[in-house]
Structure 1
Amino acid sequence: MSSFVTPKKWLTVPLEDVILRIVGGGTPSKSKPEYYQGEIPWMSVKDMNKHVLQDTVDHISQAAVDNSSTNVIPAEIPIIATRMGLGKIVIADFDSAINQDLKALFLPTEVHRDYFVYWYRSVAQKIERMGTGTTVKGIRLEVLKGLEFALPPLAEQRVIADKLDTLLAQVENTKARLEHISQILKRFRQSVLAAAVSGRLTEGWRSGDNPERNFKNLGEAGVEVKTGPFGSALHKSDYVNGGIPVINPMHISEGTIKPSESMTISHQKYTSLEAWHLRKGDVVVGRRGEMGRASVVESDEPQLCGTGSMILRVGEDALPKYLEIILRSPTAVSYFNSDSVGSTMVNLNQKIIKNFEVYFPSLSEQTEIVRRIDQLFAHADRTEQQVNNALAHVNNLTQSILAKAFRGELTEQWRKDNPALISEENSAEALLERIKAERAAAKPVKKTRKKAPS
């Protein structure tokens, strides 16, 4: 039984009935580097991150094409992934060779290409579910050929493709605007942090009693710094599942600590590393890799400072939360990136942190800065949540529009207004007969072996 609920004027047929031929590809020998120094685009699944391609990551030589099973596919032919990236389909505006995980689908004259591409996108999730394999999922050609294809008259195919061009372009524009808001919010948070650690955020608040801004380095402000365990203190082999969390840079994001269940140590090992126990009120900061990862420890639960992190503790004249704000600010990130050591990875040490000079006001002003940032960030978080909810709706909207299109709902009125374009010689039945004739004509003629003369 068909899974499509299609209009009476449409047909539902196996996909193989509307494909002239399917052409696969291959990978030239990796042992010959010269094969990958040519000008011919060579497409693989990693290129299928767009609907229309202007180029491929890899390029090969003519010798690579001649000496491998790859095939050069003409421009504008739909290309699908049959292993990894199931459900993806692209159009390239250039001739391209393809690898063995891709297939080119050559269509008959009277199957509108854009209609076909949109239909394939509408069943992408179904194709993904049909994939088999333990580590990498693939789909067999026999399964692919058996997919049910919604075949309307050709004129209606064109109308559907045009409508989807318009509607989905509007969806993409909406999505782009929403994603732009997320970037604006990110810049907003950074600008607030920068204003905080320069004294500009509370300029009006302190103007009466103490209008001057006081700067000092973190060492002068009484900040203590301790580098996480290294060398023989903590090995990778010490990690267990379900133990006491070890906090490394990867576990610190946007001022929060998110421990990992897989990166923990036993209670016995934790006890032996008492010097690196994290206490409530400590500020843990990533000392290598991406700068700006810092968070106040808010929990009394046992946690250990990891090898890639540092513990910072403030004196009586500072708030831990204000220190976190300092370390997350673009001012600190810029300073750490320029003064850190290491040729391959940014790496902080105690001297760099203690020498960092920043606006360090009174406790009352620090409290006001923290209050204002909490308020502003809470507003930004609410806005971001609304944006994310809207993005989820927009992403669902694409599949909803595609589903409506291939149930015939987008062209219901058009069929009523154009009966001559969907009947008799323009009907889906007549169209299918012409496709069958084209498929038959496209089949290669089998060579017969001549009998040897007697």
Structure 2
Amino acid sequence: MEEHLPTSWTSLLIEEALLPYENGRKIRQGWSPQCERFPSESNDDWGVLKTSAIQDGKFVEEENKHLPSNLEPREHLEVKPGDILMTCAGPRARCGVTCLVTSTRPRLLISGKMYQLRCDNSVIVSEFLESFLREWNTKKLIDKMKTGISDSGLNLTHGRFSTLEIPLPPLNEQRRIVAKIEELFSEIDAGVESLKTARARLGVYRQSLLKQAFEGKLTEKWRAQNPDKLEPAEQLLARIRSEREARYQQQLTDWQTAVEEWEAGGKEGKKPTKPRKLKEVENITDEELGVLPELPGEWAWTHPDLLAAYEPYALGIGPFGSNLKVTDYTTEGVPLVFIKNITRNNFGLEPRFVSQEKAAELKAHSAKPLDLLITKMGDPPGDCAIYPEHRPEAIITADCLKFRVLQGYCDRSFYCSFINSVLCRKQLGLITRGVAQKKISVERFKSTAVPLCSLPEQKEIVRILEEQFTAIEQNEAEIDAALQRAEALRQSILKKAFSGQLVPQDPNDEPASVLLERIRAEREAAEAELKAKKTVAKKATKKQARKKA
């Protein structure tokens, strides 16, 4: 490293820049007791930090778990202002994340999945070391130090981390570098904050569009111009109920014919199964209507199971663990759908499969192309995506819900957008994160109210939304690109900082090598003095023991 540094710089191993703790170690790891699920919010109560308390360059003290009163706190593990914290276990992206604690409430302990570092300020400035640990090239070095068999669970061991080499400028230059980084980052932060605000406003605008769409306000003018395309919803509902009953009666007739043929054939084979009548769907009550938005006269609220296809399991969840285990997974066969596929709208992501035989056993949980798939677990649940037309039939897993809408009456994109809207999420009780429930059952979903209008109007709403969402997505992409450029600029600044190119060198600064030699000599002298004192004390103890004897 040193041949690429300015002449007044040197390098050292990370432990040489740190103060020792009471046990002589310079890199301290925490403690992971069995804590309460809720955080410690009072300065009088002890809490143990979660790894989520450590964000890149940011300490979040609220991310902790309450230490039970029956456990004695390990007070030597308490976090103090000036500490540098680093995660040392977890998924690849979360192992090795660093932040400087500039301020903190008392009585917070580090956990066993993080390191606590305290800088020797006679050698290195804390902000300088934190910035170095956050620089991309440093992160790459640390990433190579991690051990583990899977990216989902890695460890950064003390032995490996202690080999990290740090570039060391003179102390005064470190201070100048830190001041320059803070100045430049402050300008970037202001721009990033504006970009994030703009992106948040796009999200609000998206939900505003959805709200207007499903209250009939987006197509108000369209309805006035196309009265011939408006079949009243009450008429649509009556037709649906009539068709459901007619289909069941036809199934009964077909079944009776099949039974007669089976009996005439000497009752060979299995007796034909009697068709199951679809459960009657209740009308929306006056009480429910009282809390729902008012709809145009041609629209109506109904329950989703009335708009499900006329077939068993058109609305249902994935199999429970007793029916589908991890041991059933194969490398080929019928694909499985997980929460991550729905939330990312990527059904080819990290595919897993089950055998054709297992899929046949789980036929009731199959997802066909163009089915609506919904997350019933997550933070928050209720995300909806359309299973792509080009994908093969799949099996949904236990945390997913399937909604196969009724063709001829329902536009899939219309109902997918509605499920993703605030209007639906409010009904599911998912609008307040951390307070409301975090799980959707089939019955819970069936209890929601969904709007019904004529199919041509549904398609017009989808057209308008797609047009508007395309513009929103383009703006979001531009903002995301600007945010990436801002992060790249930060890293460019850090790279210059740790190669001596960010601020000019001052010939009057004491070279870092001279500083380090003096401090090493002082440490050696202090250690020798301490050793001598221990030797004298030991001799005195032995002499006293001989006198007593």
TM-score range, shorter chain: 0.7 to 0.9
Counterparts in 2 of 1:321-336, with a 5 A limit? 321-336=413-428
Paired with 1:108 and 1:220, the residues of 2 have a C-alpha distance of: 65
Q: How far did residue 304 of structure 1 move?
A: 4.2
Q: How far did residue 365 of structure 1 move?
A: 2.6
- Name the structure 1 match of 2:164: 147
Code of the aligned partner of 1:107 = D
Change (3 A) 1:125 1:41: farther
Identity across aligned pairs (percent)? 21
- What SS does structure 1 have at the residue aligned with 2:116? strand
Deviates more, 1:259-268 or 1:379-388: 259-268
Paired with 2:303 and 2:50, the residues of 1 have a C-alpha distance of: 53
Code of the aligned partner of 1:184 = R
- What SS does structure 1 have at the residue aligned with 2:101? strand
Matched, 1:216 2:300: yes
Query: Structure 2 residue aligned with 1:179, among 186, 196, 218?
Result: 196
Structure 1: which 5+ runs fail to align? Answer: none
Structure 2: which 5+ runs fail to align? Answer: 21-25, 231-295, 431-435
Paired with 1:288 and 1:151, the residues of 2 have a C-alpha distance of: 49
8 Å contact from structure 2 (residues 308, 315) kept in 1: no
Change (3 A) 1:8 1:297: closer
Paired with 1:151 and 1:244, the residues of 2 have a C-alpha distance of: 57
- Name the structure 2 match of 1:346: 440
CA displacement, residues 150-183 of structure 1 (integer Å, 9 cap, x when unaligned): 2222221111110011122333333333333333
Counterparts in 2 of 1:73-84, with a 5 A limit? 74-81=80-87
Q: How far did residue 260 of structure 1 move?
A: 6.0
- Name the structure 2 match of 1:109: 122
Paired with 1:233 and 1:406, the residues of 2 have a C-alpha distance of: 52
CA displacement, residues 230-266 of structure 1 (integer Å, 9 cap, x when unaligned): 7799811455442223446554347x46266655332
8 Å contact from structure 2 (residues 383, 420) kept in 1: yes
Matched, 1:193 2:193: no
8 Å contact from structure 1 (residues 246, 263) kept in 2: yes
Rg bigger for which structure?
2
Paired with 1:220 and 1:25, the residues of 2 have a C-alpha distance of: 52
8 Å contact from structure 1 (residues 115, 160) kept in 2: yes
8 Å contact from structure 2 (residues 429, 437) kept in 1: no
- Name the structure 2 match of 1:293: 384
Q: How far did residue 287 of structure 1 move?
A: 6.0
Counterparts in 2 of 1:140-289, with a 5 A limit? 140-141=158-159, 143-210=160-227, 213-218=297-302, 223-225=307-309, 226-228=314-316, 235-237=323-325, 239-247=329-337, 251-253=341-343, 256=345, 258=347, 263-271=352-360, 277-286=366-375
Change (3 A) 1:44 1:375: closer
CA displacement, residues 310-335 of structure 1 (integer Å, 9 cap, x when unaligned): 33332424433323333333223323
What is the TM-score normalised by the length of structure 2? 0.66
Paired with 1:52 and 1:436, the residues of 2 have a C-alpha distance of: 32
8 Å contact from structure 1 (residues 43, 97) kept in 2: yes
- Name the structure 2 match of 1:93: 103
| Bigger relative CO (Cα 8 Å, ≥ 6 apart) | 1
RMSD of aligned residue pairs (Cα, Å)? 4.2
Paired with 1:253 and 1:151, the residues of 2 have a C-alpha distance of: 45
- Name the structure 1 match of 2:55: 49
Change (3 A) 1:276 1:218: farther
- Name the structure 1 match of 2:512: 428
Paired with 1:292 and 1:146, the residues of 2 have a C-alpha distance of: 45
Q: How far did residue 102 of structure 1 move?
A: 1.9
Deviates more, 1:126-135 or 1:187-196: 126-135
Q: How far did residue 146 of structure 1 move?
A: 4.2
CA displacement, residues 88-113 of structure 1 (integer Å, 9 cap, x when unaligned): 24325356654554233340435333
- Name the structure 2 match of 1:316: 408
- What SS does structure 2 have at the residue aligned with 1:207? helix
Paired with 1:221 and 1:267, the residues of 2 have a C-alpha distance of: 29
Change (3 A) 1:4 1:146: farther
- Name the structure 1 match of 2:276: none
Paired with 1:328 and 1:379, the residues of 2 have a C-alpha distance of: 18
CA displacement, residues 191-216 of structure 1 (integer Å, 9 cap, x when unaligned): 22222221111223333344964112
Deviates more, 1:400-409 or 1:266-275: 266-275
- Name the structure 1 match of 2:254: none
- What SS does structure 1 have at the residue aligned with 2:419? helix
Q: How far did residue 445 of structure 1 move?
A: 0.7
Code of the aligned partner of 1:243 = G
Counterparts in 2 of 1:305-454, with a 5 A limit? 308-337=400-429, 345-349=439-443, 352=446, 356-361=449-454, 363-412=455-504, 415=505, 418-419=506-507, 421-422=508-509, 426-440=510-524, 443=527, 445-446=530-531, 447-448=534-535, 449-450=538-539, 452=543
8 Å contact from structure 1 (residues 292, 333) kept in 2: no
8 Å contact from structure 2 (residues 98, 134) kept in 1: yes
Counterparts in 2 of 1:50-65, with a 5 A limit? 51=57, 53=59, 55=61, 57-58=64-65, 64=72
CA displacement, residues 125-163 of structure 1 (integer Å, 9 cap, x when unaligned): 32232234545322334x544433322222211111100
Paired with 1:343 and 1:83, the residues of 2 have a C-alpha distance of: 30
Paired with 2:321 and 2:10, the residues of 1 have a C-alpha distance of: 70
Change (3 A) 1:161 1:223: same
